Chains A and B, each alone.
Chain A
Amino acid sequence: MIPQDWALLVSALLFTIGVVGVLVRRNAIVIFMSVELMLNAGNLAFVSFARALNSLDGQVIVFFVMAVAAAEVAVGLAIIVNLFRLRDSVFVDEINLLKG
Chain B
Amino acid sequence: MVPALFVGFSALLLVSALLVVLHRNPVTSALFLVVAFCALAGIYILMHAEFIGMVQIIVYAGAIMVLFLFVIMYLNLGADPERGAAIVMRRLVGWLAGAIVVAQAVLLLAGRWAIGPAGPPLDPSVGNTQALGVLLYSKFLFPFEITSLVLLVAMVGAIVISKGRGGKPNSSPDPSPEATFMGAGDARVSPMLRPGDSITPAASIAPAGEESP
Contact = CB atoms under 8 A, between A and B. Distances in A.
Contacts of A84: 75, 185, 189
B77 A27 contact: yes
> Which secondary structure dominates chain A's binding surface?
helix
B83 to A, nearest CB: 11
A66 B17 contact: no
B147 to A, nearest CB: 5
Interface residues of A, number: 75
A87 B161 contact: no
B136 A85 contact: no
A10 B36 CA distance: 12
B109 A8 contact: yes
B68 A32 contact: yes
B154 A75 contact: yes
A66 B94 contact: no
A5 B109 contact: yes
Contacts of B147: 64, 67-68
Contact of B10 (A10, A30, A86): A10
Contacts of A33: 20, 29-30, 33, 68
Contacts of B177: none
B26 A27 contact: yes
Given A40-B37, A51-B48, A68-B150, A19 B136 contact: no
Given A29-B77, A86-B169, A74 B158 contact: yes
